[in-house]
Amino acid sequence: MNNLLTLLEEKKIQLNADKTRVLNSSGKKTQVIPLIHQRVLSIKGPETEKFLQGQLSCDVNNAFKTGSSLGSHCNIKGHMLSLFRLLKAGSEEAWLRMSQDIFESATANLQKYMIFSKAEAQAISHTISGIGLVGPGAQTLIERWFGNSPSETNSIISLSNGLIVRVPGDRFEIWMDDDAVTEIVRQLPEEVGIGSTNDWILSEIDAGIPDLRAETQEAFIPQMTNFQVFAGISFTKGCYTGQEIITRLQHRGQLKKPMYLAEVSTDQEPQVGETISAPNKPNAGRVVLSAQCGENRYRILAVIVKNLAEEGALSLHNQAVELKTLPYTLDPKLFLPK
């Protein structure tokens, strides 16, 4: 167990049994959230950038210039094996931050292609810890601690012992040596609280950002999760695993199942991978992410058959699913036959 987890227990912060979720929230407007539901894989070596460019859906060359990007690793049929945030950790090193429950399989899938490349994969979550910052005081807090903050989404500030990245929704992630992150959490200002894992996932949902869990591995082509909105797919960089299917859908196909933002009232928490029903169609969609947003109220991201979503009458746990407005607009050309 790393020092961050030890500190959380000392502070009487409630964790789940396997210590991968913070269960209670301070409820304060500005919160620091331990990202213990995620793990980090380091890809390091003189051919790191070249290797990842030939495997991932995003433009890794561009990500190395800006500092960060969402990305995915797909199978040959274009379905996502893993989804992550790529972070430039050095001229020859990238960190892939992803959900802990897909970490082992995601690592194994990348390593299959790494045999003839001068790059190596290593799990570093025993030495690197992460926190997310949300709320109106997040940027001020970053500037108080480090003197500056990343100015643009996907930009980073490199530190001697880690990095800071600005992510959609005016939020930040800090990934640093475990000792340094632990010290930050130990000395939080009084007006800043420790938030829950649910708080962080809810902020991801509010930003319309998908994620992948074990239940949804190989379930979605990237465009089905609106991944193109975040430059998580490059249609110009050339070949990568699954590229033919993904590009064909973009330029010659018709997207019939995009991702929607929705809410549902239910006394049973929606689970990732659960099906959403429509009249005479029990498999109208699947839950991508879910977070509680009120008493017996949940906000979700879900991939749903477009014409069924537009007709309404969607349900989950026999309760009405109410579609909400995403914080971005999808290109209508995606839904037209070519």
Q: Domain-by-domain residue ranges, the chain?
A: 1-252, 254-338
The domain 254-338 belongs to what CATH superfamily?
A: Aminomethyltransferase beta-barrel domains (2.40.30.110)
β-strands 171-177, 192-194 pairing: unpaired
Asked whether residue 168 carries a pLDDT value surpassing 90, the answer given is yes
Q: Does domain 1-252 have CATH number 3.30.1360.120?
A: yes
Strands lying side by side in the sheet with 162-167? 156-159, 162-167, 171-177, 128-134, 30-34, 192-194
Provide the pLDDT for residue 337.
Answer: 85
- Say how many residues make up the chain: 338
Q: Pick from 224, 233, 228, 335: which is nearest to 286 by CA?
A: 224
Mean of pLDDT values over 122-142: 97
Asked whether residue 338 carries a pLDDT value surpassing 80, the answer given is no
Provide the pLDDT for residue 35.
Answer: 98
Placement of tokens 């018709």 in the chain: 254
Mean of pLDDT values over 184-213: 98
Asked whether residue 246 carries a pLDDT value surpassing 70, the answer given is yes
20: pLDDT confidence band, cut at 50, 70 and 90? very high
Provide the pLDDT for residue 1.
Answer: 65
Mean of pLDDT values over 48-71: 98
Provide the pLDDT for residue 293.
Answer: 98
Mean of pLDDT values over 311-320: 95
Placement of tokens 């209670």 in the chain: 24
